[in-house]
Chain A
Amino acid sequence: MEKKKGFFDKDSTKSVLSSLVAILFGLLFGLIIMFIASPTQALTGFGIMLTGGFQKGTTSIGQVLYQAIPIMMTGLSIAFAYKCGEFNIGVPGQYLVGSFTAVFIALKATFIPNSLLWIVCILGAGLAGAIWALIPGILKAYRNVNVVISGIMCNYIGMLLVIQGVKASIYNPSSAQSYPVSATKAIPSFGLDKIFPKSNINFGIVVAVGLCIIAWVIMNKTTFGYELKACGFNKEAARYAGMNEKKCIIAAVAIAGFFAGVGGAIAYLSGTGKTIPITEALPDEGFNGIPIALLGFSNPIGCIFAALFIAYIKVGGNYMQSLDIAIEVIDIIVASIIYFSSFSLFVKLMINNWRAKKKKGGNTA
């Protein structure tokens, strides 16, 4: 006798529930930390943080969307590779290579009309990211080099290459950084700035969400996506079933690199005057993709919501700066949310136990 599955018996419900539990505990932990640091201001600060994304109405929402774009893309990049069983820790490098390519094209390719320029820049950046990701992909497929270690190496090589590239081509000596991409060459907002006035929002958010949806379709509705997932699940079995696991690894990592590169492009094409520094540091947006992917259960659609949530909290944190609480509390909260989200298996188990008990109770009644 097959009974219809209840709402709480669905796996997706359990996943979302466990994420919500993680968020709740993470916020609670943050509140405790704030109380220890500054008992008088803790509640005010916490309130500001929670209402952050709505603090200044549509402007704040626009800022949330704007800040979500790069981490959405780096998160998607990690999630996509993760589904194929590879941990793409090379995201910061791919992101950086992408942003350099985008800024370079925007500044140097003056023959392209401004209306088309941003599209060329995004595509070029994506391609650059994909090529950069090919190195670990090919090394893994043909030489069995661990993707984590080659990714870390490629991060540093990419960072140094970008520094050299900036110095050689688009260097602004007076600020010791690259030149920014001017607002006229930036991604147009197509009226989004009317809906979210005074924010830095642009059409990039639509591109980012669109790519997440495309990634979901590839993953779940195509043969290719099925092969990728099969390779991630069990490489030997996939090969036995006639799939080319080398091709799968390379393709998955390259597509992941494409997403990371696009993220780098959109971040620098927003017309806010963002410039590429020549300091030897990897961009935060790269590593911040890891928690996005994890919070979104490596699901492309999940990445959209995870990125929006993290951006929401971060915008709230910015408004908190007037208080006497160090802004790092936001990072502490995000980190503890991630930490608690690793308990998802445990939470699911608890839900199962609770359901089992309830069913038993129902029978005896």
Chain B
Amino acid sequence: MSIVYFIFQQTLLFTIPLMIVALGGMFSERSGVVNLALEGIMIFGAFAGIFYMNFMQTNDIMHGFPLLITGLLISGVVGILFSMLHAFAAINLRADQTISGTALNMLAPALGIFIAKTLQDGMQSITFSNEFRIARIPVLTDIPFVGQLLFKNCYFTTFLGIAILFISYYFLMKTKTGLRIRSCGENPQAADSAGISVARIRYLGVALSGLLAGMGGLIYILPISTEYNCTVAGYGFLALAVLIFGNWNPFRIGLAALFFGVTKTLAYTYNSIPFLAAMNLPDTGYKMIPYIATLILLAFTSKNSAGPKASGIPYDKSRR
């Protein structure tokens, strides 16, 4: 039974950050701005958060839960600031969004390592200690099965991620601002003629993607390492894939991230799962499973897939 718990918890560690970042990308793309910079925003957001944690921990100022919350906030805010570079280029200067997104992806690790090296006497990696795992929660952990599954050795960020999913759905699908975001991604001219400021809504979309991607970067790094080298191992690009896989829709993004998390966990824990171990593939063979499975699934589900219509096209008032 303990193996089930273990696999479930591993799955969450993969799924939650992927989902949060993909949801961020969703807000940006639904408002009409393609955000290729998710990877860069993750890297820089995580950099800021971890740098802050390193400072607080080494100087013994703050620890545990308050540190986690403030760290997440800092990652999110820095993520927003960083994403504003993309927003400014894409919205005000009508830049090619692929170009400015790529630029941010290059800038983030370079700037992060540069700052780290300059402030730490040439040391590139930033260390921190993981003091954020919650061993048990009174009452909740004692619930049979579910308690063991969800509330033992868990992370606060897991619940935060699930909350973000529901809030994102409600915000995008049920509120006035959500409707405005969607309309700017589908038909900005119509939105404009209805009195909506396309530029302002798109800024909001990109800012939300910056917030979520910045936090997602920190959430991804915290459980898996104790030092940070300004890389998130291509997770931002995977989140982009999850976003497309999830057809730009909140709950389908959640499912897509879960699918990816499950297959990825299976690929890393195959030894303890009898039928997978029996296949006797080489190590790399198992690791390919998530990617091949995604390709096959996409081949059968993409026939009618289409992104927001105006996504990636700079808004031009004079066009019809």
> Which stretch from A66-74, A116-124, A216-224, A336-344 is at the chain B interface?
A336-344
Which residues from chain B contact A28 at a C-beta distance below 8 Å?
none
B111 to chain A: closest residue by CB: A332
B156 vs chain A, min Cβ distance (A): 29
A17 vs chain B, min Cβ distance (A): 16
A211 on interface, CB distance cutoff 8 Å: no
* Cα-based distance from A38 to B121 in the complex (angstroms): 12
* Cα-based distance from A139 to B303 in the complex (angstroms): 10
Which residues from chain A contact B238 at a C-beta distance below 8 Å?
152
* Cα-based distance from A334 to B113 in the complex (angstroms): 15
Of A144, A149, A167, A334, the residue contacting B240 (CB under 8 A) is: A149
Quick one: CB contact mask for A135-161 with B, threshold 8 Å, 1 for yes?
100010001111011101110110011
* Cα-based distance from A265 to B186 in the complex (angstroms): 44
Of A164, A167, A290, A326, the residue contacting B102 (CB under 8 A) is: A290
A183 on interface, CB distance cutoff 8 Å: no
Which residues from chain A contact B252 at a C-beta distance below 8 Å?
none
B290 vs chain A, min Cβ distance (A): 8
Quick one: CB contact mask for B56-93 with A, threshold 8 Å, 1 for yes?
00000000000000000000000000000100010001
Which residues from chain B contact A38 at a C-beta distance below 8 Å?
118
A44 vs chain B, min Cβ distance (A): 17
Mostly, the B contact residues are: helix
A294 on interface, CB distance cutoff 8 Å: yes
A232 vs chain B, min Cβ distance (A): 14
B197 on interface, CB distance cutoff 8 Å: no
Given contacts A339-B107, A343-B95, contact A164 B282 (CB under 8 A): yes
Of A148, A157, A342, the residue contacting B244 (CB under 8 A) is: A148
CB of A335 within 8 A of CB of B98, answer no
A151 vs chain B, min Cβ distance (A): 9
CB of B234 within 8 A of CB of A282, answer yes
CB of A149 within 8 A of CB of B284, answer no
B47 vs chain A, min Cβ distance (A): 12
Quick one: CB contact mask for B112-152 with A, threshold 8 Å, 1 for yes?
01100110001000000000000000000000000000000
Of B103, B109, B282, the residue contacting A291 (CB under 8 A) is: B103
Q: Which positions 301-348 of chain A face chain B at CB distance < 8 Å?
A: 326, 328-332, 334-336, 338-339, 341-346
Of A282, A330, A336, the residue contacting B107 (CB under 8 A) is: A336
CB of A161 within 8 A of CB of B110, answer no
A333 to chain B: closest residue by CB: B110
Which residues from chain A contact B276 at a C-beta distance below 8 Å?
none
Which residues from chain B contact A342 at a C-beta distance below 8 Å?
89, 93, 95-97, 99-100, 103
Of B85, B117, B240, B292, the residue contacting A326 (CB under 8 A) is: B117
Of B103, B113, B282, B284, the residue contacting A338 (CB under 8 A) is: B103
* Cα-based distance from A161 to B240 in the complex (angstroms): 23
* Cα-based distance from A293 to B217 in the complex (angstroms): 28
Q: Which positions 93-151 of chain A face chain B at CB distance < 8 Å?
A: 135, 139, 143-146, 148-150
> Which stretch from B7-15, B171-179, B207-215, B294-302 is at the chain A interface?
B294-302
A87 on interface, CB distance cutoff 8 Å: yes
CB of B118 within 8 A of CB of A157, answer no
B255 vs chain A, min Cβ distance (A): 15
B309 on interface, CB distance cutoff 8 Å: no
A33 on interface, CB distance cutoff 8 Å: yes
- Highest count of chain A CB atoms <10 Å: which of B94, B114, B122: B114
A357 vs chain B, min Cβ distance (A): 20
Which residues from chain A contact B305 at a C-beta distance below 8 Å?
144-146
CB of B106 within 8 A of CB of A346, answer no
Which residues from chain A contact B303 at a C-beta distance below 8 Å?
143-144
Given contacts A339-B103, A346-B93, contact A37 B85 (CB under 8 A): no
A310 vs chain B, min Cβ distance (A): 11
B285 on interface, CB distance cutoff 8 Å: yes
A37 to chain B: closest residue by CB: B118
A19 vs chain B, min Cβ distance (A): 12
CB of A145 within 8 A of CB of B298, answer yes
Quick one: CB contact mask for B145-163 with A, threshold 8 Å, 1 for yes?
0000000000000000000
B104 on interface, CB distance cutoff 8 Å: yes
A231 on interface, CB distance cutoff 8 Å: no
A249 on interface, CB distance cutoff 8 Å: no
CB of A326 within 8 A of CB of B302, answer no
Which residues from chain A contact B99 at a C-beta distance below 8 Å?
294, 338-339, 341-342
CB of A326 within 8 A of CB of B103, answer no
Which residues from chain A contact B110 at a C-beta distance below 8 Å?
328-332, 335
Given contacts A37-B118, A342-B89, A346-B93, contact A157 B292 (CB under 8 A): yes
CB of A291 within 8 A of CB of B106, answer yes
* Cα-based distance from A89 to B294 in the complex (angstroms): 17
Given contacts A149-B240, A152-B241, A332-B107, contact A139 B114 (CB under 8 A): no
Residues of A near any B CB (own CB < 8 A): 33, 37-38, 87, 89, 135, 139, 143-146, 148-150, 152-154, 156-157, 160-161, 163-164, 167, 280, 282, 287, 290-291, 294, 326, 328-332, 334-336, 338-339, 341-346
Further 14 A-B residue pairs, CB within 8 A, beyond A150-B298, A153-B292: A139-B298, A152-B234, A156-B291, A157-B291, A157-B295, A282-B234, A291-B102, A326-B114, A326-B118, A330-B110, A335-B111, A339-B85, A342-B93, A345-B314
Name 27 interchain pairs, CB-CB below 8 A, sorted by A.
A37-B118, A139-B295, A143-B298, A143-B300, A144-B302, A149-B241, A149-B294, A149-B298, A150-B295, A152-B241, A156-B234, A160-B285, A160-B287, A160-B288, A161-B288, A294-B96, A294-B99, A294-B102, A328-B114, A329-B110, A332-B107, A332-B110, A335-B111, A338-B99, A342-B93, A343-B89, A345-B95
